Structure 1
Amino acid sequence: MKAQLFTLRYLQNNMPQNTNVIIIDDSKEDCYLINKRLQTVGSTVNVVSFFSAQEAYNHIVSTSLDLSKKTAKNIIILDIYMPLMDGFEFLEEFEKLPLNIQNQYTICALTSSISKSNMEKITSYKSVKSFLEKPIKTESLLQLIEN
């Protein structure tokens, strides 16, 4: 327990000054829980949640020019299994964007369960840098923000 508390404090003290997190998950409860956990790590984390991958994609495209002028870290926490546009379809569209837009973001794939074939598929996308399973722990979010 002491080691976890030390790690949590260390990560909080060594976070980037400004971090933007986009949560893309059709579950309002999961978005709420992730948002609450992110808010506990400090005031330097700005969170925007989308329940639709298409809406999130449109937001990313429309704000990409503004982000290119800022030095904030931009993280996307992407649920894989969603109705309409799922995480795989989002990644297909995201990887068609110009590299200068793609490079502004770090994508973390998120799911409650995944098969071996889908795990191989999700890790084949070059834009996916990490993978988290639900429920997400605060320490995992801190490590995602720090790295």
Structure 2
Amino acid sequence: MSQTKPGLTCIIDDDNLYLKIVSRIIESKDLCKEIVIFKNGKEAIDHFSSIVQQPEAKRVPDVIFLDLNMPVMDGWEFLEEFLKINADVRKRITLYVVSSSIDPRDINRAKSFDTVEDYLVKPLSIDALKKVFSFEDE
């Protein structure tokens, strides 16, 4: 059973260096077809709210990497809002919380959301990214 490469990956994070590094790794390893970046949860929620209203699901990401600590709307607020619109999305989205926090309370809180696949600690390694995209055997 062959795994198809995710079409669209969404990274929601305000750290420019992290964004540059992770984007380069994903692109250089050809882990997905396209990357879209949002600097805070509000930008991402506004985007998702608008695409949920449209019938074509091709702009809905396959994978979301969500930071917790951001300005305007943090990751926790994003998750609360995302829960409200996720039911209207006709496609499975795999969401990973990615944070530098190793606080067990943050990890447990993130994993308590049904929409969260896993909690990953920054910095992400190439192997961790390959595993997310199911290319761990390369």
| Fold shared by both chains (TM-score > 0.5) | yes
2:50 aligned to 52, 62, 69, which one?
62
Q: Distance in 1 between matches of 2:120 and 2:31?
A: 23
Higher relative contact order (CA 8 A, sep 6+): 1
Q: Distance in 2 between matches of 1:102 and 1:92?
A: 19
Deviations 1:51-103 (A, max 9, x none): 111001111222233553x4x86111000111221101100000011514174
Q: TM-score, normalised by structure 1?
A: 0.78
Q: TM-score, normalised by structure 2?
A: 0.83
Structure 2: runs of 5 or more not aligned: none
Shift of residue 44 of structure 1? 4.3
Residues 73 and 91 (structure 1), Cα distance of their counterparts in 2 relative to 1, 3 Å cut? closer
- 4+ runs deviating over 4 angstroms: none
Residues 102 and 121 (structure 1), Cα distance of their counterparts in 2 relative to 1, 3 Å cut? farther
Which residue of 1 is the match for residue 20 of structure 2? 32
1:23 maps onto 2:11 in alignment: yes
1:110 maps onto 2:98 in alignment: yes
Which residue of 2 is the match for residue 6 of structure 1? none
Residues 73 and 92 (structure 1), Cα distance of their counterparts in 2 relative to 1, 3 Å cut? closer
Cα RMSD (Å) = 2.3
Among the aligned pairs, what percent are the same residue?
27
Which residue of 2 is the match for residue 11 of structure 1? none
Rg comparison, structure with higher value: 1
